[in-house]
């Protein structure tokens, strides 16, 4: 009997413990469910549309610029690296044909000179000897010419022999060739054979351009074939881009190119492809693609490194300036100016403080719209709207970060973003 009482007591204790545990679990589950519903509601509130209101002073201080999306060819491009280059005909080394001493130098490195301008004066006794030979040949040519004509007349009258006429003609032709050779040498050296004999001649610029090297000093012995000066004409600058084998078939003459000068504050210039190389460069699997430069040639010098984007298609996308997109909570947003029609449903809320607005000036309402970005190039980024936006909507192109900071400040300070 005693065992029976003990068993009944144990069962009663277990039953009481179960009732207490069940009674405590139900409120806990109810509280957890309520907390989950609250968190879900809070999450939905956070992800919903947000509005920022700026007064006129804030709007002006932010430097806001409004606009719309633009059609940009951002999706079909080839990235390439390269450098600026001058064609051979726009570079020159200045040398002399006859040895002499440098008597005067009239230019310095970096100076711009015109074609034909005197760069230096060279002194040599060879110049005097050349002039002497030219004048002597000219006199002989005149004498031998007259003798040839006289022998022709005598031959017509059968006074002299045919052999005498042939000798006179040969001597005349030989001297004529010698005279022409000396005349060419004089012209090449910029000498006038009929002027007063001189031992100095000018060294002139073969092209217009800038002096890049002066390799002589006064008194230096100028030797034929050794450059005295080096020059470049930067007006015909182009860019050589290295395009790899996998992209070569997509590149064609006439395609537009955008260059970024990486060492010149990312200055952007434009160009157009005019030629494609037919051999690989060195041991790399790349081919040189030549492109004309269409603007800003004055700031370029040969050998400058560039990054380039070659447009290879017409697949345009809707894009905005990169600074128009702000990032928050791992997502991307833009701001759109609300029109009066868009705010009609809030007229009752704003009617109460209408007089205050009149006193404070115009107010600007911006709605934050979530977007998805794509390709980003040359300061623009492809955007896809994840919320409906009117076709004529005014989008904030500049000043979006100011509006976003104003929104965060309002939320962090206990304020409410409308």
Number of domains, the chain:
3
Confidence of residue 381 (pLDDT cuts 50, 70, 90): confident
Report the C-alpha gap between 282 and 34 in whole angstroms: 71
Return the pLDDT at 312. Answer: 80
Q: Are 246 and 331 part of one and the same domain?
A: no
The mean pLDDT value of the chain amounts to: 78
Q: Are 84 and 67 part of one and the same domain?
A: no
Return the pLDDT at 118. Answer: 93
Who has greater pLDDT, 276 or 193?
Answer: 276
In a domain, 239, yes or no: yes
Report the C-alpha gap between 292 and 255 in whole angstroms: 11
Return the pLDDT at 136. Answer: 84
Return the pLDDT at 97. Answer: 83
Per-residue pLDDT of 84-131, as tens digits, reads 888 889 999 999 888 888 999 999 999 999 999 999 998 887 777 777
In a domain, 384, yes or no: yes
The share of the chain scoring above pLDDT 70, in percent, equals 75
Confidence of residue 199 (pLDDT cuts 50, 70, 90): confident
Q: Are 250 and 171 part of one and the same domain?
A: no
The share of the chain scoring above pLDDT 90, in percent, equals 21
* Rg, the chain, Cα only: 44
* Global model pTM greater than 0.75: no
Return the pLDDT at 16. Answer: 59
In a domain, 145, yes or no: yes
Q: Check whether 279 has a pLDDT greater than 60.
A: yes
Return the pLDDT at 18. Answer: 57
Looking at 276, 293, 311, which one is the last position of a domain? 311
Q: Can you tell me the mean pLDDT for 67-84?
A: 82
Who has greater pLDDT, 31 or 404?
Answer: 404
Q: Can you tell me the mean pLDDT for 136-162?
A: 84
Looking at 178, 194, 210, which one is the last position of a domain? 194
Sign of the CA dihedral running 296, 302, 305, 310:
positive
Who has greater pLDDT, 147 or 3?
Answer: 147
Please tell me the least confidently modeled range out of 27-31, 229-233, 368-372.
27-31
CA distances from residue 313 to 65, 242, 252, 269, 403 in whole angstroms, order as listed: 30, 19, 11, 19, 36
CATH number at residue 241: 2.40.30.170
Per-residue pLDDT of 216-275, as tens digits, reads 999 988 888 899 999 999 888 889 999 988 888 889 999 888 887 766 666 778 889 999
Residue with tokens 């934050």, as numbered in its chain:
368
* Dihedral-angle region of residue 105 (phi above 0 means left; psi in -120 to 50 means alpha; beta otherwise): beta
Confidence of residue 7 (pLDDT cuts 50, 70, 90): low
Residues whose CB is less than 8 angstroms from the CB of residue 76 and which lie 6 or more positions away in sequence, other chains included = 311, 312, 313, 314, 315
E strand residue ranges, 49-117: 50-55, 65-67, 70-72, 77-85, 91-94, 100-105, 112-113
DSSP secondary structure, 369-396, as one string: EEEEEEEEETTEEEEEESS---TT-EEE
Return the pLDDT at 9. Answer: 58
In a domain, 328, yes or no: yes
Q: Are 321 and 244 part of one and the same domain?
A: no
Q: Can you tell me the mean pLDDT for 173-194?
A: 79
Q: Can you tell me the mean pLDDT for 54-63?
A: 87
Q: Check whether 418 has a pLDDT greater than 90.
A: no
Who has greater pLDDT, 257 or 8?
Answer: 257
CATH number at residue 395: 2.40.420.20
Return the pLDDT at 314. Answer: 63
Confidence of residue 359 (pLDDT cuts 50, 70, 90): very low
Confidence of residue 335 (pLDDT cuts 50, 70, 90): very high
Query: What three-state secondary structure class fits 32?
Result: helix
Report the C-alpha gap between 323 and 326 in whole angstroms: 7
In a domain, 39, yes or no: no
Return the pLDDT at 105. Answer: 95
Q: Are 328 and 296 part of one and the same domain?
A: no
Confidence of residue 355 (pLDDT cuts 50, 70, 90): very low
Sign of the CA dihedral running 350, 352, 357, 360:
negative
Range of the domain at 285: 77-88+235-311
Q: Are 327 and 382 part of one and the same domain?
A: yes
Confidence of residue 390 (pLDDT cuts 50, 70, 90): confident
Residues whose CB is less than 8 angstroms from the CB of residue 90 and which lie 6 or more positions away in sequence, other chains included = 207, 209, 232, 233, 234, 235, 236
Report the C-alpha gap between 10 and 116 in whole angstroms: 123
């Amino acid at each position: 009997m005693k065992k029976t009482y003990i068993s009944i007591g144990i069962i009663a204790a277990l039953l009481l413990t179960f009732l207490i545990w069940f009674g405590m679990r139900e409120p806990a589950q109810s509280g957890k469910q309520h907390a989950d519903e609250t968190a879900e509601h809070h999450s939905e509130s956070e992800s919903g549309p947000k509005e920022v209101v700026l007064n006129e002073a804030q709007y002006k201080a932010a430097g806001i610029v409004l606009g719309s999306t633009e059609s940009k060819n951002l999706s079909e491009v080839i990235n390439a690296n390269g450098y600026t280059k001058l064609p051979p005909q726009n570079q020159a080394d200045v040398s002399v044909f006859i040895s002499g001493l440098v008597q005067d130098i009239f230019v310095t490195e970096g100076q711009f000179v015109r074609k034909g301008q005197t760069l230096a004066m060279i002194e040599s006794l060879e110049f005097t000897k050349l002039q002497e030979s030219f004048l002597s040949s000219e006199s002989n040519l005149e004498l031998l010419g007259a003798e040839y004509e006289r022998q022709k007349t005598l031959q017509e009258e059968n006074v002299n022999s045919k052999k005498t006429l042939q000798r006179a003609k040969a001597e005349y032709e030989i001297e004529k060739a010698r005279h022409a050779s000396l005349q060419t040498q004089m012209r090449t050296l910029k000498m006038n054979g009929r002027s007063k004999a001189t031992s100095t001649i000018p060294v002139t610029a073969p092209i217009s351009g800038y002096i890049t090297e002066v390799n002589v000093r006064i008194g230096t012995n100028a030797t034929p074939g050794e450059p005295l000066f080096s020059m470049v004409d930067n007006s015909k600058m182009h860019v050589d881009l290295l395009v790899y084998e996998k992209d070569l078939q997509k590149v064609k003459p006439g395609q537009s190119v955008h260059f970024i000068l990486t060492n010149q504050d990312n200055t952007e210039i434009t160009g157009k492809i005019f030629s494609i190389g037919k051999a690989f460069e060195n041991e790399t699997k790349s081919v040189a693609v030549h492109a004309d430069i269409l603007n800003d040639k004055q700031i370029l010098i040969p050998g400058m490194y560039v990054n380039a984007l070659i447009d290879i298609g017409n697949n345009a996308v809707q894009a905005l300036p990169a600074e128009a997109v702000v990032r928050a909570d791992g997502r991307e947003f833009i701001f759109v100016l609300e029109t009066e029609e868009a705010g009609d449903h809030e007229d009752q809320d704003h009617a109460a403080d209408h007089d205050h607005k009149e006193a404070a000036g115009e107010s600007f309402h911006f709605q934050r719209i979530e977007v998805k970005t794509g390709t980003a190039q040359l300061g623009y980024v492809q955007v896809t709207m994840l919320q409906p936006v009117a076709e004529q909507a005014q989008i904030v192109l500049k000043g979006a970060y100011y509006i976003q900071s104003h929104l965060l400040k309002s939320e962090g300070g206990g304020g409410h973003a409308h």
